[in-house]
């Protein structure tokens, strides 16, 4: 049994202009210990996909389909039950470490509450365990820093704290929503390396969302390319980079700037704009921007290879 | 912290000086004087009175004399309440207004924060609309309408509470004035609280707290309440200063011997020293409460530290 199995997931948001479908009939599965990279441009539905998994959609959001985690159905689960999974079996890291920690509480308070709530530890042992976890994400002098407030940490350090917090209960699945996007490049590399290390140490599965293909190449086993709320390509990481089959993936890969080309070369970009999620075309969502379009693209989705 | 407090309090001196100067000269610019009556006084008596209260001196000399007196903590004699000094009038009126005002603010804080939070948690539900409609009504009904309605309902029709009077501060006599003072504040605070709570609940730290699987109660009380309270705290500073110095209307309608009515009586009677005394006293309280607000801010928000 896969760790996570998503079937025909549709996530929509009710707005005054109509229902916006951020995730459209999407299915995939994730094995234990596997790292799945999810790429796509802004608005492709990556974040809403993972927010759907832990049931944290905005109040006007709605899910259909099925999300099975360790055999348990998460769609339609009661808040009490989903709270037993969030932060415990599924850890989550968000994009912007500068704003995601609570600036009014000490790091100790924010970390220990997870252990106290999920594992019933007392404060002293929860704090001891939290310090160990901060050590594991290489926060220097964790023992004294744990009593500080988030604004006393740099961006990279805060993201390490977020990671440590997400891993406190040794979750089976870690969801990372662009964990390195808001950080500068050297810190990005450190964070990605850290996640690799921690995965080897704790053996959890990871869903890594990013729009940085370099990050994907560095960490993933499999890659899922999203466009317009749908999967347009899914493949093992080497295969995807070697032999991208969907024109959108090909376009994405061509858009990566390279250092090894001689002279000044104009950067490649995919012409056009992402589709309006209020009115998605019946066929392939990429149809308006695709350079290899054929008539069939207009009424049917290209099969996943 | 001590140094900061000292600096802040010293910094208040220029503010008070400007306040006193403006109030002093504006008061003197107003036509009429403290001893004007229907029948004009014989010139000799008028001259004697003016001499006694130094009103015959040049204005600038009077101003200097007044400043020196205030520095010594003496607001001078009242022109109208002949046997009382302004200090004595404030000392008898203020405790009454303070007691009513503090009770009203405390009630308003608890009820307003509670209602605002409930409205925010059930945004766009009937509970939300009910609270906000009541709050809007509370803000738009002036207290000279509100107070008589309270008296009509609770004193005249139901006969539960006295219609007015102080009765040496008996608890029964304080209930209606306190409600009259608290209701508009409840309205303001609940609206403020609702707005800031809605904003906080949509913020990233709250999403993180939810992603940690914490129960909703913990998310609200531990993670959302503190940041959501900050705008309420800023509002509370000047609001408390205003409410504890007494509402003219409420004290007049309920016949309460508080500080508020001296404002109006003093101004109408051109009781120069009384008006000045009350204005300066009010100014000191405003400064003091804004200072307290800043201290509370530092307690709530770890990013704010004074050194």
ipTM of the complex: 0.87
B302 contact residues in A (CB cutoff 8 A): 103-104, 106, 149, 151
Q: Are strands A205-209 and A173-177 parallel, antiparallel or unpaired?
A: parallel
Q: CB within 8 A of B200, min separation 6: which ones?
A: B206, B224, B227, B228
Locate the chain B residue with the closest alpha carbon to A50. B211
State whether residue B96 is helix, strand or coil: helix
pLDDT (tens digit, 0 to 9) for every residue of chain A, 305 residues total?
889 999 999 999 998 888 888 888 889 999 998 999 998 888 888 889 999 999 988 888 899 999 999 988 999 889 889 999 999 999 999 888 888 999 999 999 999 999 999 999 999 999 999 999 998 888 899 999 999 999 999 888 898 899 899 989 989 999 998 888 777 778 888 888 888 888 888 889 999 998 788 888 888 899 999 888 888 888 898 888 888 878 788 888 777 777 777 667 777 788 777 777 777 777 788 877 877 777 777 777 777 66
Q: What is the mean pLDDT of residues B191-204?
A: 94
Q: Which residues of chain A make contact with B227, given a CB cutoff of 8 A?
A: 103-104
Predicted confidence (pLDDT) per residue in A56-110, tens digit: 888 888 999 999 999 889 998 898 899 999 999 999 998 888 889 999 999 999 9
Give the CA distances from residue B68 to residues B74, B77, B79, B86, in Å, rounded to whole numbers and listed in that order: 9, 14, 19, 15
Which of B122, B198, B212 to mutate: most A Cβ within 10 Å? B212
Q: Cβ of B36 under 8 Å from any chain A Cβ?
A: no
Q: For residue B208, list chain A residues with Cβ-Cβ distance below 8 A.
A: 92, 94, 100-102, 162
Burial degree of B225 (CB within 10 A; 0-12, 13-18, 19+): middle
Q: How far apart are CA B270 and CA B277, in angstroms?
A: 13
Q: Is A78 on the interface with B (CB under 8 A)?
A: no
* Contact of A50 with A177, CB cutoff 8 Å: yes
CA distances A96 to A219, A239, B177, Å, are 20, 31, 50
> Does B213 sit within 8 Å of A87, measured CB to CB?
yes
Give me the mean pLDDT over the B145-151 stretch: 88
pLDDT at A127: 94
Give B226's contacts in chain A (Cβ within 8 Å).
104
**What's the whole-model pTM score?**
0.83
Residue in A56, A113, A165 nearest the CB of B210? A56
Average pLDDT in the B234-257 region?
86
**Number of A–B residue contacts, CB under 8 Å:** 75
Higher pLDDT, B105 or A248: B105
String of b and e for A152-170 (b: at least 16 CB within 10 Å)? ebeebbbbbbbbbbbbbbe
* Residue B119 CB partners (closer than 8 Å, separation 6+): B127, B128, B131, B132, B190, B194
What is the overall mean pLDDT for chain B? 87
**Residue B216 to residue A85, Cβ atoms within 8 A:** no
Choose between B58 and B207: higher pLDDT: B207
pLDDT of residue B46: 80
**Chain A residues touching residue B301 (CB < 8 angstroms):** 103-104
- Find the mean pLDDT for residues B220-232: 93
Enter the tokens of residue A106.
Answer: 């000490």
Check CB contact under 8 Å for A104 and B302.
yes
CA-nearest residue to A93 within chain B is B208
Residue A21: strand pairing partners: A12
What CATH code is assigned to A4-104+149-298? 3.40.50.300
Rounded to a whole number, what is the distance in Å from the CA of A241 to chain B's nearest CA?
A: 33
Residue in chain A nearest B228 by alpha carbon = A104
Judged by a CB distance cut-off of 8 A, whether residue A119 touches chain B is no
The residue-averaged pLDDT of B60-66 equals 88
Token reading at B255: 């016949």
Which of B205, B215, B216 minimises the CB distance to A102?
B205
Tell me how close the Cα of A83 comes to any Cα of chain B, in angstroms: 4
Q: With an 8 Å Cβ cutoff, are A86 and B226 in contact? A: no
Mean pLDDT of all residues in B82-108 = 90
Domain map of chain B by residue range? Answer: 94-269
A96 interfacial to chain B (CB closer than 8 Å): yes
- Chain A CB within 8 Å of residue B223 CB: yes
Alpha-carbon distance A217 to nearest alpha carbon in chain B (angstroms): 27
The neighbouring-strand residues paired with A10 are A64
In terms of Cβ atoms closer than 10 Å to its own Cβ (0-12, 13-18, 19+), residue A293 is middle
For the domain with range B94-269, which CATH number is right: 1.10.3720.10, 3.40.640.10, 3.40.50.300, 3.40.1390.10?
1.10.3720.10
Interaxial angle between packed helices B225-244 and B171-201, expressed in degrees from 0 to 180 and rounded to the nearest 10: 150
For residue B170, pLDDT over 80 is answered with no
Q: What is the pLDDT of residue A46?
A: 87
B217 contacts chain A (CB < 8 A): no
Q: In sequence order, which residues have a C-beta less than 8 Å from that of residue A143 and are 6 or more positions away?
A: A131
8 Å CB contact between A178 and A95 = yes
Q: Are A23 and A229 in contact (CB under 8 A)?
A: yes
Determine the pLDDT at residue A305. 61
pLDDT score at A107: 94
Within an 8 Å CB–CB cutoff, is residue A147 touching chain B?
no
CA distance B90 to B278: 7
Alpha helical stretches, state H, A152-223: 155-167, 185-202, 213-219
Q: CB of B213 within 8 Å of any CB in chain A? A: yes
- Give the distance from residue B296's alpha carbon to the nearest chain A alpha carbon, in angstroms: 13
Q: How far apart are CA A159 and CA A182, in angstroms?
A: 10
Q: Which residues contact A201 (CB under 8 A, 6 or more apart)?
A: A136
Residue of B nearest to A118 (CA): B213
Cα dist from A212 to A157, B94, B229, whole Å: 21, 67, 39
State residue B307's pLDDT score.
60
**Picking from A295-299, B72-76, B247-251, B279-283, which range would have the lowest pLDDT averaged per residue?**
A295-299
């Amino acid at each position: 049994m896969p760790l996570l199995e998503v079937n025909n997931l549709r996530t929509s948001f009710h707005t005054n202009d109509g229902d916006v479908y951020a995730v459209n009939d999407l299915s995939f599965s994730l094995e234990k210990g596997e790292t799945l990279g999810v790429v796509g441009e802004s608005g492709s539905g990556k974040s809403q996909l993972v927010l759907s998994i832990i049931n944290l959609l905005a109040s006007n959001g709605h899910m259909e389909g099925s999300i099975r985690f360790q055999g348990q159905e998460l769609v339609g689960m009661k808040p009490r039950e989903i709270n037993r999974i969030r932060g415990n079996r599924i850890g989550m890291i968000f994009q912007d470490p500068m704003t995601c920690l609570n600036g009014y509480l000490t790091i100790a308070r924010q970390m220990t509450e997870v252990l106290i709530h999920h594992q019933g530890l007392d404060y002293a042992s929860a704090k001891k365990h939290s310090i160990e976890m901060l050590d594991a994400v290489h926060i220097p002098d964790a023992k004294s820093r744990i009593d500080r407030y988030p604004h006393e940490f740099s961006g990279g350090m805060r993201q390490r704290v977020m990671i440590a917090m997400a891993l406190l209960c040794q979750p089976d699945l870690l969801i990372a929503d662009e964990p390195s996007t808001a950080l500068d490049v050297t810190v990005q590399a450190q964070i990605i390396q850290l996640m690799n290390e921690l995965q080897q140490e704790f053996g959890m599965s990871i869903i890594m969302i990013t729009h940085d293909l370099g990050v994907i190449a560095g960490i993933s086993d499999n890659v899922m390319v999203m466009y317009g709320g749908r999967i347009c390509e899914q493949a093992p990481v080497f295969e995807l980079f070697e032999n991208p089959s969907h024109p959108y993936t090909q376009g994405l890969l061509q858009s990566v700037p390279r250092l090894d080309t001689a002279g000044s070369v104009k950067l490649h970009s995919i012409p056009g704009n992402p589709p309006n999620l209020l009115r998605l075309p019946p066929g392939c969502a990429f149809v308006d921007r695709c350079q290899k379009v054929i008539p069939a693209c207009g009424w049917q989705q290209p099969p996943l290879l | 912290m001590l140094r900061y407090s000292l600096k802040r309090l010293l910094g208040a001196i220029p503010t008070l000086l400007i306040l006193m100067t403006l109030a002093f000269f504006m008061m003197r610019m107003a036509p009429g004087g403290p001893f004007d009556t229907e029948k004009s006084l014989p010139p000799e008596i008028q001259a004697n009175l003016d001499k006694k209260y130094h009103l015959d001196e040049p204005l600038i000399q009077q101003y200097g004399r007044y400043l020196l007196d205030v520095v010594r903590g003496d607001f001078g004699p009242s022109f109208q309440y002949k046997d009382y000094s302004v200090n004595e009038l404030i000392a008898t009126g203020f405790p009454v207004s303070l007691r009513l005002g503090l009770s009203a603010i405390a009630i308003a804080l608890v009820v307003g924060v509670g209602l605002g939070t409930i409205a925010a948690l059930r945004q766009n539900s009937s509970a939300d609309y009910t609270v906000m409609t009541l709050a809007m009504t509370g803000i738009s009904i002036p207290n000279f309408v509100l107070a008589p309605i309270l008296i009509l309902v609770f004193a005249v029709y139901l006969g539960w509470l006295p219609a007015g009077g102080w009765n040496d501060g008996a608890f029964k006599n304080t209930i209606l004035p306190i409600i009259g003072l608290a209701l508009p504040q409840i309205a303001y605070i609940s609206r403020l609280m609702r707005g800031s709570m809605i904003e906080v609940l949509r913020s990233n730290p709250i999403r993180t707290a939810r992603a940690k699987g914490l129960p909703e109660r913990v998310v609200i009380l531990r993670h959302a309440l503190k940041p959501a309270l900050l705008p309420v705290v800023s509002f509370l500073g000047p609001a408390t200063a205003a409410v504890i110095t007494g509402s003219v209307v409420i004290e007049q309608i309920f016949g309460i011997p508080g500080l508020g009515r001296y404002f109006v009586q003093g101004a109408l009677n051109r009781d120069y020293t009384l008006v000045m005394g009350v204005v300066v006293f009010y100014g000191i309280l405003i400064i003091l409460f804004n200072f307290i607000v800043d201290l509370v801010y530092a307690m709530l928000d770890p990013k704010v530290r004074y050194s």
